[in-house]
Chain A
């Protein structure tokens, strides 16, 4: 009579098959899917490009800033970029709806421009650096660190020495 119990259990539990594609599919939050990029926090260290196993990331230096490019069709969702990114500007979302028609093959690209900063004192071009870098470098923020952070090394030294940054 054991089959009666199995029959009853199966009726109670409902179908084992996921509803997808006729309904939503359960996706864990930590699922490694499409890469997302936040240009406001990228510091342009190029570490993600360096470690990228699939060679999906390209940076190029241009006049208006650092151009970031990712082609999702060669990303293996390994998560190395997110692991090594110092400011967590690059992350993996749990979006896995990536299938597309052949015509769209080369449109599976995300592009962003990371603007350069300019020294607030002399105007020299600086590597990008967002609020997250500030947090990491100074373990918190205050007006003084904020001012120093947006200066080139020379002006920062002068400002520190003369005490005007205090």
Chain B
């Protein structure tokens, strides 16, 4: 088991939750993985498709009222310990949707956030910078 936890410390799985984003941030997240120019996997991490496998969770969007319960349910399925990254100003502050009747965010009202990556959307390099910070936290927490 020791071997596995040591390995896990170096190679976290990334997981993405869209909490009602406009898709701008999600496109930038996709570019970090799919475009060789950015290639987030150099940092030893990889996107996965299931919350059960996730170590670092990247959340986009302002947490709309409609999607809130579903987001919290998926978030709860991610095993602890985990590192949470808010990508874009939407989850951080609500951004342009701040104080709207349809918004339940900012996301840290409901979830413990570790790293914030502001921008609307943040450029891929800024997301990679945020993920690098999350990996540092993950190495201590795992």
Contacts and interface: CB of A to CB of B under 8 A. Distances in A.
A71 B93 contact: yes
24 contacts: A16-B37, A17-B39, A17-B42, A18-B38, A54-B98, A71-B93, A74-B92, A74-B94, A96-B119, A96-B122, A96-B123, A96-B126, A97-B129, A99-B115, A99-B129, A100-B115, A101-B115, A101-B116, A102-B108, A102-B112, A102-B116, A105-B108, A105-B116, A108-B118
Interface in B102-127: 108, 112-120, 122-123, 125-126
Contacts of A22: 42
A4 interface: no
B96 A98 contact: no
A74 B108 CA distance: 14
Nearest to A19: B42
Given A73-B89, A102-B108, 9 more contacts: A16-B36, A21-B128, A76-B89, A96-B119, A96-B122, A98-B122, A99-B117, A101-B114, A101-B133
A128 B124 CA distance: 40
Interface residues of B, number: 32
Contact of A54 (B89, B113, B116): B89
Contacts, number: 89
Interface string A16-58: 1110111001000001000000000000000000000111000
Contacts of B36: 16-17
Nearest to B123: A96
A100 B116 contact: yes
| Residues of A contacting B: mostly | loop
Interface string A81-116: 000000000000000111111100100100000000
Interface string B8-51: 00000000000000000000000000001111001100000000
Q: Give 8 closest A-B pairs by Cβ, nearest first.
A: A76-B120, A99-B130, A74-B93, A25-B125, A99-B117, A98-B118, A17-B39, A102-B113
Contacts of B142: none
A72 B125 CA distance: 18
A71 B95 CA distance: 11
B134 to A, nearest CB: 9
Nearest to B43: A21
Contacts of A97: 126, 129
